[in-house]
Structure 1
Amino acid sequence: MEEKKEEKTADSADACCHDHVGSSPSRGRDVLKKINTKSFWQGACVAVVLLFVAQAAFDVNFMPKLSFGGSGAKGASNASQSSSGNSASVASVADYETAVLPPSGVELPVRWGDLGKRMVDAGVIDSEKFQAIYAQRGGLSDKEKELLLGADNGNLKIDAENAGYLLNLLWALGLGNKNDILDNGPMTDERYGGNAGGFASTGGWTLAAGAAMDHYSKHSFMALTAEQQKLVERVSQNIYRPCCGNSTYFPDCNHGMAMLGLLELMASQGVSEEEMYRVALAVNSYWFPSTYLTIAKYKDGQGIAWGDVEPKEVLGAAYSSGSGYKKILSQVQPVTQSGGGGCGV
């Protein structure tokens, strides 16, 4: 509780200067009384200053612990809880980054093999266009070239450096692979125009040989069993992205189409549903770093460490959709981080 301090002035000092000590006993006593009073207040001022110095230097709290019918303590507790959710005092930004965006990256439980080469051969990716784009960005690394043109790649690994590159590879995969979600899902639904070519995920893919729609759901890069298809459909409806309000089941932007490609790849290689959510959260975090660092801070304010969150819950509409994340932002100061992939190639 903060106390208001009444400022005191030494307006009697000049009066003391006009008294003559020894003129009379009563006058002498009055003078001594004024001197003693002045000394008292000078001493009190010095003591107050020393208390504040001690509090600043040694983190000692001299404020009284008062409670008015219990409301003061409760109010302090509520203020503390509110503060924990709205400041970086719970953990540092570096702590969140280490947990959400591991510097060493995250290895995904899927083998890439020759998928890049097959997409180039099929024309979903025009190799010259693709490499020209990256030449303007410093060129492809040897590893990135191998993912594009190689025939024997191991497991994919995502980190802050290659997140945008993997976004484009998986975008092409989700766009080109034959799947019932693309053929009969929201992308072709009359309620949304009935024209799959009118979305950012299709019209925005400019790195194909020919038009993007020449390759839309046309190639069998991965053949899913009926059970695997059901798994992809079920999981895709529970994974949202903060750039819009749609789930992966409606892949109308590049992030949605790329996530669809990743889900198909995981299902085709026998990854469990639980693991699919865990991987999807890790990948989404690299694609939208500020979003998931902020969600991690929000969860931390609730006493839940990032390693203990439920991936399916965090990927759901309440956290990862555009509207859901907006509600989170109303309760916590955002953690800003550069990086991630934009909504274009």
Structure 2
Amino acid sequence: MRIKINKDELVGTAVLAVLGVLVFYAWPAVSLPQSQPNFNIHNETIPQIIWGDLGVKMVEAGVIDQEKFLALYDNSPLLQEEAGRLIGSYEGNLKITPENSGLVLNLLWAYGLGNKNEILDSGPMTKYGDPGGFASTGGWTLAQGEAMEHYSRHGFTTLNNKEQSLVDRVSRNIYRPCCNNPVHFPDCNHGMAMLGLLELLSAQGFSEEEMYRIALQVNSYWFPDTYETISRYLEIKGTTLGAYDPKEILGYEYSSAAGYNRILTQVTPPENQPGGSCGVQ
């Protein structure tokens, strides 16, 4: 059976097809909504971390001299009380807030310095001569004896291979704006403290994603002006900090000294914000 084709209908169909192709290519592309990390440095709450008797162990080992440590907070009674609990018989959780972030920095600094870890034993800290000459080692003045007497000497927390691998991997991707080195090279107090934090998080079963989120929040406590400035910079570019993976923000492009200085050429930082000192706080 032969089908009779109407030439007028055929031409009309062809015209519609061509118009359809033209409309398809001319119409602006619409981006589908993407899943966002939804990170907000002002609203994030850091999960409480098991602290247990770590404070007592560090005092007993001598990496923290109790008298020196508490004297640091003579002018801050509330912080001194909290410090006394955290290096005393208190066996609760460690809660990190903007208000106690300096105290926590010192505790984690001591822990990161003293806890035995292969990153300290064979990582970049050992590649440039005596590791005792860095700010993270020579600057720790709150120990009994010299800081290097405690460098990677104490088994406060022993990581299995999987946990150590996670710490190693994450530590290579987290920077701080006081220098250009990642946590894997903890040559200042912030790097050593962050190394200690990563060890605790890994040992307690936190995921890699959770570790980055917590690390970014803690970094924003230690360097509030830096992350306010980065947030402003991203807003000027038409986006927000929450649109980025915390891992990316913690990377060299944003969180290293070089990356942050590049951002400073394009945005004015907030005034009167305390900076991140690399000494005992």
Range class of TM-score, shorter chain: 0.7 to 0.9
Partner of 1:142: 81
Partner of 1:163: 101
Mapping of residues 1-345 of structure 1, within 5 Å: 99-102=40-43, 106-138=45-77, 140-154=79-93, 156-189=94-127, 192=128, 194-339=129-274, 341-345=276-280
Q: Which amino acid aligns with 1:122?
A: A
Encode CA deviations 1:135-176: one digit per residue, 9 max, x unaligned: 14456343332112134112x222221111100000000000
Aligned 8 A contact 2:58 2:111 in 1: yes
User: For residues 249 and 272 of structure 2, what CA distance do their matches in structure 1 show?
Assistant: 19
The unaligned stretches of length 5 or more in structure 2 are: 1-39
Q: Which amino acid aligns with 2:106?
A: N
User: For residues 242 and 150 of structure 1, what CA distance do their matches in structure 2 show?
Assistant: 35
Q: Which amino acid aligns with 1:225?
A: N
SS in 2 for 1:290: helix
User: For residues 167 and 138 of structure 2, what CA distance do their matches in structure 1 show?
Assistant: 24
Q: Which amino acid aligns with 1:168?
A: N
Aligned 8 A contact 1:289 1:337 in 2: no
User: For residues 221 and 275 of structure 2, what CA distance do their matches in structure 1 show?
Assistant: 6
Aligned 8 A contact 2:73 2:80 in 1: no
SS in 2 for 1:134: coil
Given the two structures, how large is their TM-score scaled by the length of structure 2?
0.82
Q: Rg larger in 1 or in 2?
A: 1
Given the two structures, how large is their TM-score scaled by the length of structure 1?
0.67
SS in 2 for 1:113: coil
Shift of residue 310, structure 1, vs aligned partner: 1.2
Shift of residue 343, structure 1, vs aligned partner: 1.1
Q: How many correspondences in the alignment?
A: 242
Partner of 1:7: none
Q: Which amino acid aligns with 1:238?
A: N
Q: Which amino acid aligns with 2:50?
A: R
Encode CA deviations 1:1-45: one digit per residue, 9 max, x unaligned: xxxxxxxxxxxxxxxxxxxxxxxxxxxxxxxxxxxxxxxxxxxxx
Encode CA deviations 1:265-307: one digit per residue, 9 max, x unaligned: 0000011001100000000000000000000111122232233
User: For residues 332 and 263 of structure 1, what CA distance do their matches in structure 2 show?
Assistant: 31
Q: Which amino acid aligns with 1:179?
A: N
Shift of residue 337, structure 1, vs aligned partner: 4.8
Please list every run of at least 4 consecutive aligned residues from structure 1 whose deviation after the TM superposition is greater than 4 angstroms.
Answer: 136-139
User: For residues 42 and 133 of structure 2, what CA distance do their matches in structure 1 show?
Assistant: 33
User: For residues 344 and 188 of structure 1, what CA distance do their matches in structure 2 show?
Assistant: 21
Cα 1:228–1:268 change in 2 (3 A) is same
User: For residues 259 and 134 of structure 2, what CA distance do their matches in structure 1 show?
Assistant: 22
Q: Which amino acid aligns with 1:111?
A: I
User: For residues 212 and 271 of structure 2, what CA distance do their matches in structure 1 show?
Assistant: 24
